[in-house]
Structure 1
């Protein structure tokens, strides 16, 4: 493909750069550094290379080369499987597990980001062909920006109101821990009960509409909230110490979700922020209001 070197290199370069920018390590520490960076940077480079080769292949009427995109899509699906299997294997090492739904969500994101690199490279070469080098950079940059905005996930704070709620201790011995009438757990040890009274924090998550109510009722979504809060603020928990396990329970009458936790950093506002920033899992998202029956029932 003589004469297309600059076009191809521009597409590969911008596509790989976009994938590198998306490799951000946050509080989840995933992907890990440096091994995770090497793996996903290499895959991003391959995805960008495939996207950059499409236009030159079509211009040369080499249609067989374009069929390699089908094989690439299969490989990216294998990436999703690889991430899912890896996270599932290490799930037993988490004091507060992510949950199957959260794992599937993470795996899907890593697959999608390779398509982001591929599409960025593809549209960069289109811009280069019809415009020039600067045009290719602009078209590729706008493509990456637009796709990145589409891929942004909503958070719990977008669909629910979050507030701190007092822990309630009921029962003959005061060993039932609850929030606003919802019993969360029974604590048998006096020492554990004292810890809950001293440092325990209760959170009420009130859905803004029936769509949010159905989403928050999902077990995977609630587990993701508990995991993210424990991951960001720490949790006083160890193997076999079940009395300190953070929990999220549903009020069946109101649809509110209540969470209790003893964080290492006992700052109520920070706990609220951690809950608010938890992503809404695609696998947990529900839209009953989009159906005729659900909309009529809500009225």
Structure 2
């Protein structure tokens, strides 16, 4: 989905915290502290906190415009069409994966990558929602009755569902995108832009997803590792299964410290490989230490 639908409400809420702190400290009005912001939206938010609240709610509602869902019959139709467009060896490999995984058997829903020129979702599954899983305490929403475990699990189902239905590829990890539900025109765009395509896993997105899962698990358990509520037992178990599946696949790739990695299919086997222009070390790589620490704390 458009990452702004995740980042902007978070940023607006942060502005509210900052403005509240300025007031609590008894500092002068914002325009006195920083005259250059006069006339900007932040000054309105400073004078009218209700306007800021409305802005947050508006942006939080933006995510609904990206929601798409497909029945099992629709999944089969879209995925088969996409497979028919692939080289024979790749098509046969993915057909075998589908047969063994039964990924067709359940409907699927996900947040589309973007909207088209008239505001309709372009149905490309993607890893952007990993950011929301990382930033927001979805489990606490469940505990206070504002959400359900089923809703949270459906949001991350696409990460665990085997490609080409979902994003998950064994011995590789969650692909950054899946264009099977989109049009041939979109397929061609991704063919010309492999960096953002269903041919790659982004290490940054993997780390966000893993940290998001550990956050949700931690929020659902007490200090002894027991569910905070008995009704959360199956939810925690599902989260841990997805976490294990993801970590094991990424470890098996042997490429988890790369910026991104890809794969090729040869001799009926999938072979992980380094992406041609991948950078081995970037600043975000230090988050691997955080991931290791978070995984060590999962009970």
Length-normalised TM-score, structure 1:
0.28
Q: For the pair shown, which has the larger CA radius of gyration, 1 or 2?
A: 1
Length-normalised TM-score, structure 2:
0.28
